Amino acid sequence: MTPPLLNGRYKVIKVLASGGFGETFLAKDIQMPSKRKCVIKQLKPVEHNPQIYELVKERFQREAALLEELSDGINQIPHLYAYFNHDGQFYLVQEYIQGDTLGKKLRKEGRLNETFVKEILINILPVLEYIHAKRIVHRDIKPDNILIRSTDNQPVLIDFGAVKETMHTVMVASENSTRSIVIGTPGFMPSEQTAGRPVYSSDLYSLGLTAIYLLTGKMPQELPTNSSTGEIIWKEFAPNISPDFAAILDKAIQSHPRERFLTAKEMLLALQPPKVAIPVTVPKISLPLKKSTEPPTVISLPSPESQAQPSTVLVNQGMKDWQKATIIGGVIGVFIVSGMVFINNQTPDILVRKTLAEKKDNPAKNTANLLNSPKSSITKEAAITVINRWQDAKRQLFAPPFNRSLGTELTTGEAYRKNIGSGSSLEWLSNNNSYYRYGVQSIDSVEKFVASKDRATIEIIFTEDRKFYRNGKIVTGKNTSFDTRLVRYSLKLENGKLKISDYETIDIISNR
């Protein structure tokens, strides 16, 4: 029987779950002024062998320390508040997160649509990338271990398999050694994990099958397999799935690890491919030599500054030859100059937008500046990497635990002052019980890059879904938005590290 008060401070409210690994309780911490709710996991060693109790105790402490480190670095893993052992049993005290697991959500609502499932994958893959970078394999990804947080609809990863494995350490008497029982859920774990050799892509396999379960409503064991290849047959149970999304899931659940996505980042890029720019082509202009009474011919001229809104030139077939030659010469000149600008800037990934054309500087002038600038060791690729890291870091910077060290690593100058230093956004958020949550964050295109000595400027179009919360409630207004904008970043090499020194929004292209 569970005592009403654990460790002298945690009052049990109710049992949330019970199983072979132990029990999970909802409790409140009576020693905290807020009497905050928490989740307590009671973990029972599979064997009560005194020979291995100390070993299990040592491993449990190590795994608890690891959980604390993980939860402090990202807000999509429950925070670890405490751990203790009592009467031969071990306890973890974790953050209580209100919401439904994906399994419960499916049971309540039925099969989920592709848009929702894809968004879940996009938001949980960065969490897997984070834990894999710490050399940790979760080992028990399934619908009931991904919880959708009520406050912001973000997926949260729970119940790491490493602690469960520690609790199921057993002694092999004949070899005088220890081994651990395989951890995972049948159907959701791949063959190499069943054999006790999980790799990073094992988690991606489990995540792929979790997505298929949400789309089909069928557990993996219920799905037929191809008798020749062993591949799981599932698409007929999700008739509205798009071919591209189906192909991504098929790759994730390949039986051999080398045929899957090797990393979470690779799978995320497959779900969010970079936009491809349409190359600028020069149309052939054919003009009749004879006069005609037909109406003027309209020739569309795609411009490198405005592919979506091509300009037009009217060439009257009744013009004299010298007039036509003048117009044609002007047209060809435009394309020659535009082509030179395009090549010299070396940005084939530009997405051309008319809404930005009026706000850009003279392209010929930019090209000249770039060609005449002193040689710089800063590359466009390095600049993009820093911007990507900044976008990822904002999830931890502007929400608990307000990871200031990340901001210090990535910013300097005005960017540091506005975001990290005294009187900054981070300080205001922390002091006013406020924070941001981020959904989609994607770089759509690079519009301009100029580098000189130890400084660089890069203009980027990116899309971001940002929500502002205060006192746990979302606040609508300019701080909450889902938009695409053009931003100019100033970068600086500082002690050998490239940092953001300032940035400004040049234009908001669209709101969603």
> Residue 425: CB partners within 8 Å, gap ≥ 6?
398, 418, 419
Mean pLDDT within 14-43: 88
Question: Which residues does the annotation mark as catalytic?
Answer: 140
The pLDDT tens digits of the residues spanning 300-342 come to 333 333 333 333 334 444 455 555 555 555 544 544 444 444 4
- Per the prediction, the chain carries an average pLDDT of 78
In this prediction, residue 203 carries a pLDDT of 94
pTM above 0.85, yes or no: no
CA–CA separation, 389 vs 387, rounded Å? 5
In this prediction, residue 329 carries a pLDDT of 56
The residues pairing with 461 across neighbouring beta strands, listed in sequence order, are 445, 486
The pLDDT tens digits of the residues spanning 370-392 come to 334 455 788 998 999 999 889 88
How many degrees, rounded to 5, is the angle at CA 286 between CA 282 and CA 287?
135
Residue 359 has pLDDT above 50, yes or no: no
Structural domains for the chain: 5-95 (3.30.200.20), 99-271 (1.10.510.10), 297-351 (no CATH), 373-511 (3.10.450.240)
Over pLDDT 90: what percentage of the chain?
Answer: 36
What band does 273 get if pLDDT is binned at 50, 70 and 90? confident
User: Could you tell me if 204 and 260 are in contact, meaning their C-beta atoms sit under 8 angstroms apart?
Assistant: yes
How many degrees, rounded to 5, is the angle at CA 186 between CA 180 and CA 188?
110
Residue 426 has pLDDT above 90, yes or no: no
Q: Which residue has the higher pLDDT, 265 or 59?
A: 265
Q: CB atoms < 10 A from the CB of 314, how many?
A: 11
The pLDDT tens digits of the residues spanning 63-98 come to 788 888 888 888 899 999 998 988 878 898 999 999
The pLDDT tens digits of the residues spanning 496-507 come to 899 999 999 988
Per DSSP, the residues of 238-290 read: -TT--HHHHHHHHHHT-SSGGGS-SSHHHHHHHHSPPPPPPPP-PPP----SS
In this prediction, residue 3 carries a pLDDT of 63
Q: Which residue has the higher pLDDT, 366 or 273?
A: 273
How many degrees, rounded to 5, is the angle at CA 59 between CA 58 and CA 60?
90
In this prediction, residue 23 carries a pLDDT of 85
